[in-house]
A and B are shown apart, each in its own frame.
Chain A
């Protein structure tokens, strides 16, 4: 079989390609990334909890953060964008056509705040969780309690990341 025989060339190219494919499937030294399947579950299933390992991968991966940011826009119950540039101080109320979010200090404990979620349409299928995030920072997720009459309320530590994020005008929020 001459060296330039097309059958020989194709056969040997196939062996080279097969070796390359197997090499690519062999684990390398690069840090693992979070899978899109996990991101999807994280965005849509309030019962799904990211393992600490996956959470660290997500936090360290700009591309995955961008994927999550786009995923959150898909099928969201309501989107509350970051406040106008003029806004300053802390935000206590965010409104959209579908829901109102409010932060109220607890009278019983100064270091606690109530997050209230009110649906404009009390009969609408209620959201189960919210995501809050600032540009360049990891998204935070909070599971919402069951709604009653279009209302739900959660008690948060005022110093918790999620409470601080919700009070920050630079934060955008998705109800899902």
Chain B
């Protein structure tokens, strides 16, 4: 017995070392004390470790190291000379290397090297690759990493050396994880739910087996059960939502024609690491652009404030969930939230049954209106940000203007006399001239369409009073705003799509009448039973 316990402790110690290495990367701080790597990057890193899908990223990293080592064969300053691992900082860092060697290409959006086998590493990819490099250092050590990548730092290192170095690093990481990655725990709740859904699926297959009836029935069946943890509607809804995401993603992935990794025995139940990575990634995608927007903005640019974020987080903004279980989305928003309040009250010793919506109330429809109002505010803020980005003459201003006002006759901004015809360059000269004209335009409500749009943007800017939308912004704020406005626009599109495509065409009055009584009865049974059991036990 003692041996078994010792072994268990040893195993835990090994996985704790891996956890400590990941924590070290996740908690690594920038010069201003903020996180060096974003949460998204850390999640991506953990995913690639757990899924063992690091082969391609290590190859990308090897190619990146070739480029990063042009200055004296050293790469450290490029990676750790930047404070925050962001696309913008890496862009500035690599731009400083521009022109140092002819065989290395430093572009506006990506870097590459002449013998790079077509590999281009974008600045947006670099934060993840930097985190992977730091993780390698934390696990196998900097001297080992430095030795394994030595050949990449020699002038003229090409695709062959990159592949060799990537393979060596891959073997080393594989060996480390063999010793340190704990065995996977099978998620019982999801398997139980899927078994229930299958039994009630009839002719439906795949994620189609999961619908609103199944979600509600499962909760009603197992909420009070000791067999499985399904007490709250929200937990059941989250389980269903996660299953829909992964089943849809798995179906799409397996029906695709992408290349399979060699050595995966599908018949023996093994899954391809690249497939696994893509499907796990779908879980993050289901959180949609809201999480990305909040992460990008932090407390500096409030496209969405805390209350608005809580409201919008009720909507699944991925492709499938709201389409498959639209009623459950609002059941969770209304009754899932009510149940949480009840649980909290119960824990405090208060009466558990609070006020629930009455069948006569248009509570689902009101919730839909709330989402629409919140996203209208976000759109107004996007318009306001156009003013700020335009004033700073950032290229994102034009992208945003095109998106906010696609019907404007933008062609008039591209002058036909904008430059000499020097081969193919005439188009880009016209584009540059158009850009200049756009940035030179001023706001005028009675002017042409562009001037009127800018007048609207200025009015919106003046009408807002929240962080990031008042006073002069510094370069760091503008960087964040330029990055975040893309996510803000994605969020607006995703919410509108979810509302218009998935949630508006439903007979909500009928559900309001039925659900109010059904949930009231279920809560009463659930919490009265608790009180009875407590008094019996007492």
A interface list, Cβ under 8 A from B:
1, 4, 6-38, 40-41, 44, 63, 66-67, 70-71, 74-75
Contact of A29 among B16, B141, B191, B194 (CB under 8 A): B16
**A–B pairs, 27, beta carbons within 8 Å:** A7-B206, A8-B247, A10-B254, A11-B249, A11-B250, A12-B191, A13-B271, A14-B246, A14-B250, A14-B280, A15-B187, A15-B246, A17-B51, A20-B184, A20-B185, A21-B46, A24-B15, A24-B19, A25-B23, A25-B42, A28-B16, A35-B138, A37-B29, A40-B76, A41-B80, A67-B137, A70-B142
State the Cβ distance, B280 to closest chain A Cβ, in Å.
5
Question: Which residues of B, 238-272, contact A by the 8 Å Cβ criterion?
Answer: 242-243, 246-247, 249-251, 253-254, 266, 269, 271
Report chain B residues within 8 Å CB of A32. Answer: 20, 23-24, 27
Question: B74, B137, B243 — which one has the most chain A CB atoms within 10 A of its CB?
Answer: B137
Once A and B bind, how many residue pairs between them come within 8 Å at the CB atom? 166
State the Cβ distance, B296 to closest chain A Cβ, in Å.
20
Tell yes or no: B134 within 8 A of A by CB. Answer: yes
Tell yes or no: B198 within 8 A of A by CB. Answer: yes
State the Cβ distance, A92 to closest chain B Cβ, in Å.
32
Report chain A residues within 8 Å CB of B134. Answer: 35-37
State the Cβ distance, A31 to closest chain B Cβ, in Å.
7
Contact of B24 among A12, A35, A44 (CB under 8 A): A35
Q: A10-B279, A19-B187 are in contact. Are A1 and B209 (CB under 8 A)?
A: yes
State the Cβ distance, A47 to closest chain B Cβ, in Å.
10
Contact of B76 among A17, A24, A74 (CB under 8 A): A74
The answer to whether A12 touches B49 (Cβ under 8 A) is no
State the Cβ distance, B230 to closest chain A Cβ, in Å.
16
Interface string of B8-27 (1 = CB under 8 A from A): 00000001111111111111
Q: A28-B20, A74-B74 are in contact. Are A10 and B27 (CB under 8 A)?
A: no
Report chain A residues within 8 Å CB of B515. Answer: none
Interface class of chain A by DSSP: helix
The answer to whether B283 touches A24 (Cβ under 8 A) is no
The answer to whether B269 touches A9 (Cβ under 8 A) is yes
Complex CA gap A14/B205 in Å reads 19
Contacts A1-B206, A1-B209, A15-B242 supplied; 18 other A-B pairs, CB < 8 Å: A6-B254, A7-B247, A8-B247, A14-B282, A14-B283, A20-B182, A20-B184, A21-B280, A23-B185, A24-B46, A25-B22, A30-B16, A30-B23, A35-B27, A36-B134, A40-B76, A67-B142, A67-B143
B137 and chain A: residue at smallest CB distance: A36
Report chain A residues within 8 Å CB of B279. Answer: 10-11, 13-14
Tell yes or no: B36 within 8 A of A by CB. Answer: yes
Complex CA gap A18/B281 in Å reads 9
Tell yes or no: B290 within 8 A of A by CB. Answer: no
Question: Which residues of B, 45-72, contact A by the 8 Å Cβ criterion?
Answer: 46-47, 49-51, 72
Report chain B residues within 8 Å CB of A28. Answer: 16, 19-20, 23
State the Cβ distance, A26 to closest chain B Cβ, in Å.
8
B136 and chain A: residue at smallest CB distance: A36
